[in-house]
Amino acid sequence: MPSPYRALFAAPGSRTFSAAGFVGRMPLSMMGIGVVTMISQLTGRYGLAGSLSATIALAAAVIGPQVSRLVDLHGQRRVLRPATLVALVASAGILLAAHFRWPDWVLFVCAVGIGSVPSLGAMIRARWAALYSGTPQLHTAYSFESVIDEVCFIFGPILSIGLSTAWFPEAGPLLAACFLAVGVFWLTAQRATEPAPHPRGQDGGRTALRAPGLQVLVATFVATGAIFGAVDVVTVAFADEQGHKGAASLVLALYAAGSCVAGLVFGLLHFRGRPEPRWLLGICAMAVSMIPLLLVGNLPFLAVALFVAGLSIAPTMITTMSLIEQHVPRAQLTEGMTWISTGLAVGVALGSSVAGWVIDAAGARAGYGVPAVSGAVAVAVGFLGYRRLKRPVPRRGGSVEHGSEREERHVA
């Protein structure tokens, strides 16, 4: 491991909370696809399977920021454990309902309950921010966590689908629930690195989403999420048309691998100047990288194009997390980070749905027009909101340095 990453873990407790966060984040990429695989195997109803997966994603998008807001107010341990218990009970319910063929409405009620699963990525980044705020190490920490996110998305679906098809249908969601329980309870047992809660009143009773800069970031990432959702669906359809549907998972793994590589390298770089231009450049790069997908003619070309496209993901996400620090009060940092995940989740649901309609109407190659259009929308929103991003807000419970003074000692 390069020295900046090795130095990152010199802080006491950093290795263990990062490891707990990795375990607890695996369900993010396992639960939805696991439910789809389980329901399709047990009932053969792909429409029901897709609807349940979308319900889980949208419920998480609605409930997740509220859980994170409570975390900012009361602390991770007091909030994460009850929220996780709700998600675990709901997970058990959906497994039993599917196995014993209970009515569909029971499945949907349980799917909504699973949406209470906490955003472990935001919790871990908040711990890094508490350790390294205002130092170059925070940039390295955010880079490392973006790589961990991509690793989860590479191996999580493979584990979930593989177990459900090779062992028994409920195995994938069951393992996801086990990862969630172990990760959350391991993380919340580590009190020394837990960020201090901010009592009610420091946020003025307002949601972090009232911050104009955060609104721009979230709106942009709805369009970005549409890119991700559409690419996933269209790639599976394209591989099916080519007669190699099983290769879709490998091609999509290369998409995530490109992001992994870029995230590792980005974490080793040191930048000066404001982060906003780098963020906008990243959004533009993500949009431009969708254009070659319109020209794909075979799977090898698609694999190369998606690997290159993945190179812009992690650097953009890392810079986004740094911008959140500037645009929400410290007392609302966890909630602010979770809103980005919410924007992505909403975008993924929209992108996958629209892509499915386009594929049905015009074929898989035409489906790649959906991520291309989504990228153009992301760029347009980014440019329209750029001036808001250049106006950081003062923090409560901390301070925000403006302009070059902040950037001289904070690498973003």
Distance (Å, whole) CA 99 – CA 169: 9
pLDDT the model gives residue 182: 95
pLDDT the model gives residue 412: 31
Distance (Å, whole) CA 288 – CA 98: 42
pLDDT the model gives residue 391: 65
The residue assigned the tokens 């955010």 is 142
Distance (Å, whole) CA 277 – CA 283: 10
Give SS3 for 372: helix
Domain boundaries, the chain: 14-131+167-190, 206-412
pLDDT tens, per residue, the chain with 412 residues:
557 778 888 888 889 999 999 999 888 878 877 887 788 788 877 667 777 877 888 888 888 888 888 888 888 899 999 999 999 999 999 999 999 999 989 999 999 999 888 888 889 988 988 888 778 788 888 888 888 887 887 788 778 877 887 888 888 899 999 999 999 999 999 988 888 887 665 445 567 667 777 888 989 989 998 898 888 778 878 887 888 766 777 888 888 888 888 888 887 877 777 888 889 999 999 999 999 999 888 889 999 999 999 999 989 988 888 888 777 777 777 787 888 888 887 887 788 778 878 887 888 888 899 999 999 999 999 999 888 876 655 544 433 333 333 233 333 3
Record the tokens describing residue 244, joined without a space. Answer: 């190699």
State pTM to two decimals. Answer: 0.76
Report the topology of domain 206-412.
Growth Hormone; Chain: A; (1.20.1250)
Sequence-ordered alpha helix ranges (H) in 328-368:
333-362, 364-367
Distance (Å, whole) CA 215 – CA 323: 12
